[in-house]
Each structure stands twice: as structure tokens, then as C-alpha cells.
């Protein structure tokens, strides 16, 4: 059964949260797809994953990099899964029709954006209707995550 996690970003931006979640995914030996809302955002995330920390980077690629099946993390604005990922991150309101094709789906949404919160509620309802296990995580002021539902 697919696990669907909702991360409500309130105190730290996506740029601080996404790399650590992707790191944890790779530490578990899983492959991931990060789906953004636009190609411009894919480019920004591509740069972020190379530069977010001075001492490391997250191995990843986009369609222009080639060897898509070998990429541990694939960045896209579409619904493809060329690396056989078992985890799909959805940011900037990105959607997937294939919820049950993954072991885990992770929605990250901006808590101060009313439209993003409304979209996350719709996605929650859809995931529950699809029979997925759904969990909601809220960010605390110190950047930690608390399971709320």
C-alpha cells in the first residue's frame, strides 16, 4: 500500500527541506523522482541539489543529462519515472495520477499560500479515496516535524 506524506512548510522554505528528505530517501537505498510545477523550477531544484551544502551534493539528473535509468534522483515537471523510483516528491502543486505506482508519495506545500493549502486538502482527499495510507506532518518553529494526522 502506498504511503502518502504531506509536509506543511511553515518555517523553512522548500529549499531547506527538500534536500534533507531526498538524502533520507537515498540513505534507505530508494530511488526518487522530484516533480516540480514547471521546467524553470526543475532547473532551480537542479542547481539547489548540487549546491545546498559545501561538503556534499545529491546525485541526480534531468532529461538533458542522459542515462535516466541510472539516476538515483530524477528531476522533472512531467509524470515520467525513467529511473524506476519508488518515491515521488511533488512540489509547487505538481500532481500525479499514479498514486499507487509508488511505495511513497511526498507532497511538500507552502503553508502561507492559501491556494497551496486548499490544493493539499484536495490531494489528501484523493489519496485517501485511492486507499493510500495518509500522514500529515507540520513544521515547528525550530524546524522539526510533528505528525499531526
Render pLDDT for 96-144 as a digit per residue (tens, 0 to 9). Answer: 988 999 999 999 999 999 999 999 999 999 999 999 999 999 999 988 8
Task: For the chain, give every domain's residue range.
Answer: 3-147
User: What predicted TM-score, i.e. pTM, was given to this entire model?
Assistant: 0.95
pLDDT of residue 104: 98
Number of Cβ within 10 Å of residue 111's Cβ equals: 15
Second CATH level (architecture) for the domain 3-147:
3-Layer(aba) Sandwich (3.40)
Q: Are 44 and 92 in contact (CB under 8 A)?
A: no
Alpha carbon 116 to its chain centroid, in Å, reads: 14
Which residues lie below 8 Å from residue 136, measured CB to CB, with a gap of 6+?
Answer: 5, 6, 8, 124, 147, 148, 149
Q: Which residue has the cell 504531506?
A: 6
Torsion of CA 114, 92, 126, 102, to 10 degrees: -150
Render pLDDT for 38-67 as a digit per residue (tens, 0 to 9). Answer: 999 999 999 999 988 888 789 999 999 988
Amino acid at each position: 500500500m502506498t504511503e502518502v506524506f504531506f509536509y506543511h512548510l511553515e518555517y523553512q522554505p522548500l529549499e531547506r527541506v527538500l534536500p534533507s528528505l531526498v538524502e533520507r530517501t537515498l540513505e534507505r537505498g530508494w530511488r526518487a523522482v522530484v516533480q516540480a510545477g514547471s521546467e524553470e523550477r526543475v532547473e532551480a531544484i537542479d542547481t539547489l541539489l548540487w549546491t545546498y551544502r559545501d561538503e556534499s551534493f545529491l546525485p541526480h539528473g534531468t532529461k538533458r543529462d542522459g542515462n535516466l535509468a541510472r539516476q538515483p534522483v530524477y528531476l522533472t515537471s512531467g509524470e515520467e519515472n525513467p529511473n524506476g523510483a519508488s518515491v515521488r516528491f511533488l512540489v509547487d502543486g505538481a500532481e500525479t495520477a499514479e498514486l499507487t505506482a509508488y511505495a511513497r508519495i511526498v507532497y511538500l506545500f507552502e503553508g502561507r499560500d492559501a491556494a497551496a493549502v486548499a490544493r493539499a486538502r484536495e490531494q489528501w482527499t484523493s489519496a485517501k479515496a485511492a486507499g493510500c495510507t495518509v500522514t500529515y506532518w507540520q513544521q515547528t518553529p525550530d524546524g522539526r516535524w510533528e505528525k499531526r494526522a
